[in-house]
Structure 1
Amino acid sequence: MSDQESSAAQWRRLARHVSAKINVAWWLDKLAVPLVVSSLIGSCLILMARRELVQFPWAKTIIIGLVLLLGMGLMAWWLARRHFESPARALVRIEASMRMRNTLSAAKQGVTPWPNLPETIDDGTRWRWSRLLAPLLAAVLFLGTSLFLPVSARTDSGEGPLDEPQPWKDLQADIAALGEDNTVQEEYLKELEDRLDQLR
């Protein structure tokens, strides 16, 4: 392989790398909002299910989550694809950011020889990790909280006796005390107990 062919292959490989980097960045950008919104809704649903259901369906939840994640990924790809860059366009981007004055475009057309690859390459892009990681961390926080937050399961209203209000208990105790003291007629006490039972 000649020096020219080697230089051309290196520049084309670099252009493919830059193109992939830009395309992934666009995809992640379009994925951020749906990921945060769906993880927030999903965490609310998980909390409700953990409260309402006796046995939480872990397998179904994981499968549904993976299907939703795949769907969001495909939707984000579909939305981002109009911003995707081809390797040829990425080559022009490199050329512009490094102020090479159309050297790479001319070399690609065979007008001039391919230049040697410099040690430092400036493709005009850089990752903004705070913008990239914030939606992911928010989604993990929402879902993690919904999975590990202690939630007490709702008790069935038909199970066990209902606890009476304290005033009823006090009144029942007073009626019993009056019956023991024999200060009130027994018929009156019976009538009070009947009325109390009707209130229940």
Structure 2
Amino acid sequence: MSAMFLAEMTTGKEAQYWESMTRKLARQVNASWWLEHWLPWLMGAGIVGSTTLLWLRWRAMGSVAIQWFWIALAAAGLVSMLGAWWWARRRFESVDAARVRLEDSLKMKTVLTAAHAGIVPWPAEREIVQWPLRTVWTRPAAVAIFTATMLALAAWVPIPAAALARQRTIEKPAALEDVEKWMDQVRQQDAAEEESVQKVEEKVAELLQRPAENWYEHGTLEAADHLKEQTTDMLRDLARNLTEAERAAAALEAAGQALPKATRDALSDALDSSLQGLKGGGMKPSADLMKQLQGMSAEQLSSSLSPEQMKQMADALSKNRQALEDALNKSPSLNWDDMVSNMPGKGQGDGQGSGPDGSNEGLGKGGVSRGPGTGPVGLKQDPTKIDTTKPEQLQSQIDLERMAPGDLITTTDGKHKTDESYRGPGSSGAAAKPGDGGAAVWQNSLVPTERQTLQRYFKQP
């Protein structure tokens, strides 16, 4: 009878009440120990996470990288929670230890332990229980707020450095950009030989291999401008040679043998000169035209080529000229008309006009019947050789240091000694070569330091 009554007391409502209070106390103690170990991990994750987020935004990694960051941060938080639990579990309290703590706080001695063992009945429920522990949420809340605030600031605070880093793009020098666009147009129109285009592009790439911070130094800009001018000259020579060659070939093909021999020879020489300029220029025509021009000479042009072959050459020259004209007209700061202006053509009077059709004024032949106007002064690479600076040595037995202009040097009898191989100025001081309107020549006298500067930025041809 007593055993049955004790079992009923043990499984009654009072037993459930006190057992739930004991488990609640054990959970509170264990949670406190877990928080004690996890809060440092949480603060560290907040500091590292906010720093990483700021770095990702500063580097402008994009939204995908930010999403992966939040996933990694959540995974790190979960791992830290498990690690804190593993580290703190050695200090966890069991339900029996929590029951003893509750008995001590309520001054119940060992009543709850004895009741759990079935020795004595469970005490009655209490309306007011003096709880043995009090959780101070100030520290956990402060750590959580601190971590959340750091992550929020890292996610939303404006970062001017990130925007500046994206905007700080050093553009290529304008001269190099123009040359690149020229070569792209020439390649698209197949207006020049691929090897010639690649050589220009290699020079551009060589300048761009320098650090971007040095692109706008004086030396780099000067080299870029020089390359642009050099490329412009090569394209101008190609345009003029194609135009002159096409004009001469068309004239030979149209008139054929009906032309006088002198006129035909002059056209053949003009065509040969233009073709040699095409083959030897810095910017050569297309590969198809180059194959057709291989081995051509003035004699072959005047005698060996049939009218059909001459027509094929004229068509090939016209096709290449049209491709180059389209490429130049689509290129920035280039124009076909400017390229072929002031070039010899069919003009008025005895002189030759300028322009692709010879409609403008050009250089004359000289004399009273020349064309109207003065010939333009063109800039050439080499001066016109008229032997005006050739030194001549005086032969005399007198003291040359005391000579004065107009002094008699010597008198001789007999036949004059002449140098049969000497070719000096003509009669009355005439020029050895007829002038074509004059030529302006740019001459530089450089000191050693200036030569070193040029050698630093430009290669020897």
TM-score range, shorter chain: 0.7 to 0.9
Aligned-pair distance for 1:122?
Answer: 2.2
Give the corresponding residue for 1:85.
Answer: 93
Rg (Cα) greater in structure: 2
Does 2:31 match 1:20? Answer: no
Write out aligned runs for 1:12-161 (5 A): 12-56=19-63, 57-152=65-160, 153=162, 154-155=165-166, 158-160=169-171
* Alpha-carbon distance between aligned partners in 2 of 1:120 and 1:78, rounded to the nearest angstrom: 35
* Alpha-carbon distance between aligned partners in 1 of 2:130 and 2:99, rounded to the nearest angstrom: 11
1:19 touches 1:90 (CA, 8 Å); kept in 2? Answer: yes
1:22 touches 1:84 (CA, 8 Å); kept in 2? Answer: yes
Unaligned runs of 5+ in 2: 1-6, 173-211, 219-443, 445-452, 457-461
2:56 touches 2:66 (CA, 8 Å); kept in 1? Answer: no
Letter in 2 for 1:120: I
2:53 touches 2:66 (CA, 8 Å); kept in 1? Answer: no
Letter in 2 for 1:19: A
* Alpha-carbon distance between aligned partners in 1 of 2:96 and 2:129, rounded to the nearest angstrom: 16
Unaligned runs of 5+ in 1: 169-186, 188-194
Distance 1:54 1:60, change over 3 A: closer
* Alpha-carbon distance between aligned partners in 1 of 2:170 and 2:94, rounded to the nearest angstrom: 65
Range with greater deviation from structure 2 (49-58 or 125-134): 49-58
Range with greater deviation from structure 2 (150-159 or 113-122): 150-159
Does 2:14 match 1:7? Answer: yes
Letter in 2 for 1:80: A
* Alpha-carbon distance between aligned partners in 1 of 2:109 and 2:61, rounded to the nearest angstrom: 69
2:22 touches 2:95 (CA, 8 Å); kept in 1? Answer: yes
Matched pairs, number: 168
Letter in 2 for 1:9: Q
2:33 touches 2:92 (CA, 8 Å); kept in 1? Answer: yes
Structure scoring higher RCO (CA < 8 A, sep ≥ 6) equals: 1
> Normalized per residue, which structure has more helix?
1
2:9 touches 2:121 (CA, 8 Å); kept in 1? Answer: no
1:93 touches 1:123 (CA, 8 Å); kept in 2? Answer: no
Percentage of pairs with the same residue: 27
* Alpha-carbon distance between aligned partners in 1 of 2:61 and 2:83, rounded to the nearest angstrom: 35
Letter in 1 for 2:25: V
- TM-score scaled by structure 1? 0.75
1:43 touches 1:143 (CA, 8 Å); kept in 2? Answer: yes
- Report the secondary structure of 1:28's partner residue: helix
Aligned-pair distance for 1:73?
Answer: 0.4
Runs of 4+ in 1 over 6 A off after TM superposition: 161-164
Give the corresponding residue for 2:403.
Answer: none
Letter in 2 for 1:26: W
- TM-score scaled by structure 2? 0.34
Letter in 2 for 1:49: L
Q: Deviations over 1:121-175 (max 9, x none)?
A: 22310110112211111111111111111113123754437899xxx9xxxxxxx
